[in-house]
Amino acid sequence: MNTAELLHILGVDPKAMRGGSLLVYTPITGEQIAAVHEHTFADAQKIISQAHDAYLVWRTVPAPRRGELIRLLGQELRQHKETLGRLVSIETGKILAEGAGEVQEMIDICDFAVGLSRQLYGLTIASERPGHRMMETWHPLGVVGVISAFNFPVAVWSWNTALAIVCGNSVVWKPSEKTPLTALACQALFQRAMTKFGNTPAGLSQVLIGGRGIGIALVDHEQVALVSATGSTRMGHEVGPRVAARFGRSLLELGGNNAIIVSPSADLGMAERAILFGAIGTAGQRCTTTRRLIVHSSVAQALVTRLKKAYASAKVGDPTQADTLVGPLIDQAAFDAMQAALLRASAEGGRVTGGQRQLADQQPHAWYVAPAIVEMPGQTAVVCHETFAPILYVMQYDDFDQAIAMHNDVPQGLSSAIFTTDLREAEQFLSAAGSDCGIANVNIGTSGAEIGGAFGGEKETGGGRESGSDAWRMYMRRATNTINYSNQLPLAQGIKFGDD
């Protein structure tokens, strides 16, 4: 099926694909596949205002009832998993398994959110005053603005939207201008769920299509209570202060420079498998991509030899073919950034294997590349910079404390892992003196986080948390309540008035 057929099945109006100013290209061939209509600043103001009106109605709907809408969305996603997954592959260049896997993440977060709709718990707190009770309650926040990146064009929206909706909020989504078609498809599926739900306020979920200016309109709007932004650290540096200037909330999911430590006691077969998936999956264009390998000198040669052999056997090509493991980079800018990083790594003493352009004769307008392994003399400046491409920097260590120090000595702090069978090393890695990342794993790689855990990182990764655990609290406001059921009114700080 071609793109138009996929969008038709998903319920997108064909007119949305034609005659617009935002040109959409598939990285598989580099060909234009759509011309999408963009929203204006005035459109954005109207859409956000409508979303606020929807929130005022939706916040009064009981949370378990709100969960029913997300259950219906999950049904739509199950029914259209293959179709939406294929559209993800066409628009981002992901292999089919990854496209379908991303939709499965959407289904999983819907299941999580439906259960959560009956578990938005507060606390009962002991009061120091006789005849008083204290408690904590959680209430809907308002309009939630979602800004997503091209590499996970549908999952990030669902992580935010499923939680935001069951928490009683409305959502306005500004997708990457590189991946608007998947956004329109998700909105169409959400609209189907709303129709089945019945009596849903108009504007509960909406999409804003456009570039940087539309993103700014969303970030700056006073009625957007929370901006959840996923993207580069550079983007976060702009979004965070703008939202803070109006005392709004921001949830930032930014860059990652993720490392795996491989100790002398590690199972090298397991480590190889995790490194390969983490480093070349999505052509290195994940925030959780494995970018640094810190390996003990006693096993470094054996592991690198295994990795080079595995890299050589990984097929680079059309992501819609079942045997492909590595699809294209998103565009030429990504390819150019990768080549610049490899040149810089060579200048800093690195030995580069791979990294060349692939299939240029067959697909001259697409940007396929061989994943690169770069053996570095140490953690140089280029290693500390995140390049969104399949580059794995390999560095050696002799002392475990040295490995931890090297691991933490980068600006980013998203995902991390260690492969070891040494209990002390594993526990130190997970301790306060170990990994400084938001995700720290033992004998499992940096990619493939589960829905049930909170997802996010520290330092320049932004500090935000999405998905599981108590991440739902970001989408609600907390109120501390005190109830006096006595016939006395004791004053704080022991203050007395008159005849007290």
Q: Residues 398-429: pLDDT tens digits?
A: 999 999 999 999 999 999 999 999 999 999 99
For residue 276, the one-letter residue type is L
Provide DSSP, 275-317: HHHHHHGGGG-STT-EEEEEEEHHHHHHHHHHHHHHHHHSPBS
For residue 316, the one-letter residue type is V
Amino acid 499: pLDDT: 66
* The pair of three-digit structure tokens given for residue 83, joined into one six-digit string: 């179709």
* The pair of three-digit structure tokens given for residue 87, joined into one six-digit string: 């559209």
CA distance linking residue 196 with residue 308, whole number of Å = 52
* The pair of three-digit structure tokens given for residue 410, joined into one six-digit string: 């980068």
3-state secondary structure of 328: coil
pLDDT digits (tens, 9 = 90+) for 223-249: 999 999 999 999 999 999 999 999 999
Amino acid 324: pLDDT: 97
Ranges assigned E (strand) in 82-187 = 123-125, 132-140, 143-147, 170-174
Q: How confident is the model at residue 73 (pLDDT cuts 50, 70, 90)?
A: very high
Exposure string (b/e) for 175-207, b if CB count within 10 Å is 16 or more? bbbbbbbbbbbbbbbbebbbeebeebbebbbbb
Q: How confident is the model at residue 494 (pLDDT cuts 50, 70, 90)?
A: confident
CB 296 within 8 Å of CB 263: yes
Q: What percent of the chain is predicted at pLDDT more than 70? A: 99
Amino acid 363: pLDDT: 97
The answer on pLDDT for 450 being more than 90 is yes
- Mean pLDDT for 114-121 is 97
CA distance linking residue 376 with residue 295, whole number of Å = 12
Amino acid 14: pLDDT: 85
pLDDT digits (tens, 9 = 90+) for 258-287: 999 999 999 999 999 999 999 999 999 999
Only one residue has tokens 């492909």, namely 324
Report the mean per-residue pLDDT for the chain: 97
For residue 211, the one-letter residue type is G
Question: What is the distance between the terminal CA atoms of the chain, rounded to a whole angstrom?
Answer: 81
Amino acid 183: pLDDT: 98
By C-alpha distance, which of 243, 291, 232, 282 is closest to 415?
291
State the catalytic residues.
Answer: 253, 287
The answer on pLDDT for 500 being more than 80 is no
pLDDT digits (tens, 9 = 90+) for 322-367: 999 999 999 999 999 999 999 999 999 999 999 999 999 999 999 9
The answer on pLDDT for 492 being more than 90 is no
The answer on pLDDT for 16 being more than 90 is no
- Higher pLDDT residue, 495 or 53? 53
Indicate yes or no: pTM above 0.75: yes
